[in-house]
Amino acid sequence: MEQYVIGVDYGTDSVRTVIINAEDGSEMASSVFNYPRWQKGLYCDARASQFRQHPLDYIEGLETTIINCVKQAGPNVAAKIKAISIDATGSTPVAVDISGTPLALLPGFEENPDAMFILWKDHAAVEEAAKINGHAKDYDADYLKYIGGIYSSEWFWAKLMHVMNNDEAVADKLYTWLEHTDWMPFLLTGGTNANDIKRNRCAAGHKGLWAEEFDGLPPKEFFMSLDPKLDKVYATFAKDTYTADKAAGTISTEWADKLGLPTDVLIGIGAIDAHMGAVGGEIEPYYLSKVMGTSTCDMLVIPVDEIKAEPVAGICGQVNGSIIPGMIGLEAGQSAFGDVYAWFKNLISWPIDQLLPRTKLISAELASQLRDELEGKILNELSATAAQLPLADDDELAIEWLNGRRTPDANPLVKGAVTGLDLGTDAPRMFRALAEATCFGAKSIVDRFIAEGVPVKGIIGIGGVAKKSPYIMQMMADVLGMSIKVHRYEHTCALGAAMFASVVAGIFPNVEGARQAMGGGFDKIYQPNDEVKDHYLSRYAKYKRLGDFIEGA
């Protein structure tokens, strides 16, 4: 009997939806929707580290991509869809009222950035995160030990404190604070009461301080003495959390009709994109799964009976069941990865963007086409030219902390840097330095796991950079001194969501069964080049010294 599932992946810039045949993992349809308000830069201020997304971008993306997929696959496939699972970036929370409606969808809040989703990369809550870290030191119990020992400005409670302390109208109106990964299943199941929302263990554990050892969150007194205003949300945060192999409910009649789906489609519990992406990329114990996009999320799973006593310091947490139920999921990552390359492309594209539209030599239409063509080729041309450059120990050296540092040891205040510049420095040499920096940042994460007693047997590459940039991937293999296998599937996070949907629907008894049946395998393996090993080890040592200097300055 043919059975199909839908995976929906909410990334930073767009949402991707796939319909997958659960029998063999074959893709029946796919659709991508770029967030229109986000593309215009609305509600964001990069200089203030403010990055907000309007819930309408998410709703429109959900409708558009699923309807497109249903049309592509045809009515025979649509009638046999059994479940939908959704992943999203995290921590990306939003203020909702008692009905579970994001405040930005209510009259009077439509254009208020604080009433919208606070995107993962929003670092406006630096002071609040520092307050949480300082406050935690006053307790004998270590309430930060399962999130690496440092609470980040990218996460749930810091963002809530920032909004409540800076926007009285939102603070008064909100009933609770909700992750994107929890709101989407609530929306699709037709929820009308925020008390019915099922919070996913993935986000709650890695971003929200939930832990099995604490039997839920840290005690109420911890939050009340931190900031009494947190009581409102603390009271709504249930003790129980749910792994992504469980159902949040059944699709509402309204959404089934709107999307052209059966009314018995199950909706799975959500999870962070990289966590489902790791499953889609066929993660296995002790293999570091790197979801490589605008940032990186580095995922690793360990069987429960093999975890050592002390949590790994300086990462983004370790949570039982956050990636694969029954295993400990560990998360690390870099706050800027693809964003570093995008920043440099935008920097050197300034004349193209600003001057070309004003030229009198060609028509506006032709100027626009020329601009698009040039910008589409820049990174590939930089990579090709940089790959031909000779290697020298005194080459330009960079630090990739353009959006702070996520791991190891979160610090949103540190900045990027470049040293070794001279009049011979050109765009390809600068690009090479930035590429090296992102690879050195990846090595620092691997080194931390190993130093903390967690072996790393190999690397799995997932995401746009892994698929599209052989130059970066070969450099990373050389820097790490490890082979990297790149997953075959293009929309790996969406595939992982579809795998979870198949378990939610009862098609497979567990995630391992779904992964074995639906996984697409790997299409490329990058092997390290021993001839450059010593070069990169020397450069990495300089990178570490430069990083120490920048952080101490």
Report residue 189's pLDDT band, with 50, 70 and 90 as the boundaries. very high
Q: Is the same domain home to 129 and 168?
A: yes
Helix axes 492-504, 273-280, angle to 10 degrees: 90
- The answer to whether the pTM exceeds 0.85 is yes
* Beta strand pairing call for 266-268 and 397-399: unpaired
Q: Is the pLDDT of residue 553 over 80?
A: no
pLDDT at 1: 75
- Positive or negative: CA dihedral 454, 459, 465, 467: negative
Q: Alpha-carbon distance 357 to 480, whole Å? A: 43
Residues 236 and 385 in one domain: no
Whether the predicted pLDDT of 155 surpasses 90: yes
Q: Mean per-residue pLDDT for 104-128?
A: 97
> What was the pLDDT predicted at 517?
95
Is 482 among the domain residues?
yes
CATH number at residue 259: 3.30.420.40
Backbone angles phi, psi at 541, to 5 degrees: -60, -40
Between 338-348 and 427-451, two packed helices, what is the crossing angle to 10 degrees?
170
Strand segments (E) across 432-507 = 458-462, 484-487
Span 32-70, pLDDT tens digits: 999 999 999 999 999 899 999 999 999 999 999 999 999
Q: Is residue 289 part of a domain?
A: no
Residue 231 lies in a domain: yes
Q: Which residues, listed in sequence order, are joined to residue 11 by a DSSP beta bridge?
A: none
Furthest CA-CA distance within the chain: 71
Report DSSP state, residue 216. B
On whether both 457 and 512 belong to a single domain, the answer is no
User: Shortest CA distance to 207 belongs to which of 114, 97, 301, 322?
Assistant: 322
CB within 8 Å of 366: residues ≥ 6 apart: none
Domain identity same for 398 and 503: no
- Mean pLDDT, the chain, whole residue set: 96
Q: Report yes or no on 158 lying in a domain.
A: yes
Collapsing DSSP to helix, strand or coil, 101 comes out as coil
Q: Are residues 347 and 399 in the same domain?
A: yes
**280: confidence class by pLDDT, cuts 50, 70, 90:** very high
Helix (H, G, I), strand (E, B) or coil at 103: helix
Q: Answer yes or no: is 125 within a domain.
A: yes
Instruction: Say if residue 141 is in the same domain as residue 237.
Output: yes
- Per-residue pLDDT of 374-424, as tens digits, reads 999 999 999 999 999 999 999 999 999 999 999 999 998 999 999 999 999
- What is the reported pLDDT for 377? 95
Residue with tokens 């203030």: 48
Question: In terms of Cα–Cα distance, which of 155, 180, 32, 197 is closest to 104?
Answer: 180
- Residue 271 within a domain: yes
Q: Is residue 127 part of a domain?
A: yes
- Asked if 498 and 533 sit in the same domain, the reply is no
Q: Tell whether the model's pLDDT for residue 310 goes beyond 90.
A: no
Residue 91 maps to a domain? yes
Q: What is the pLDDT of residues 243-255, one digit of tens each?
A: 999 999 999 999 9
- In this structure, the answer to whether residues 23 and 66 fall within a common structural domain is yes
What's the domain range around 528? 338-488+523-552
With 0-12 / 13-18 / 19 or more C-beta atoms within 10 angstroms meaning exposed / middle / buried, residue 395 is middle
Residue 308: band (very low, low, confident or very high) from pLDDT cuts 50, 70, 90: confident
* Integer Cα distance of 311 and 330 in angstroms: 10
pLDDT at 254: 98
pLDDT greater than 80 at residue 299: yes
Q: How many domains does the chain have?
A: 2
Q: Could you tell me if 244 and 363 lie in one domain?
A: no
82/98 same-domain check: yes
* Reported confidence tier of residue 347, pLDDT bands at 50, 70, 90: very high
Same domain for 241 and 373: no
Q: How far from chain centre, in Å, is Cα 505?
A: 25
SS3 labels along 418-438: EECCCCCCCHHHHHHHHHHHH
**Co-location of 213 and 249 in the same domain:** yes
How much of the chain exceeds pLDDT 90, in percent? Answer: 97
Alpha carbon distance 174, 16 (integer Å): 29
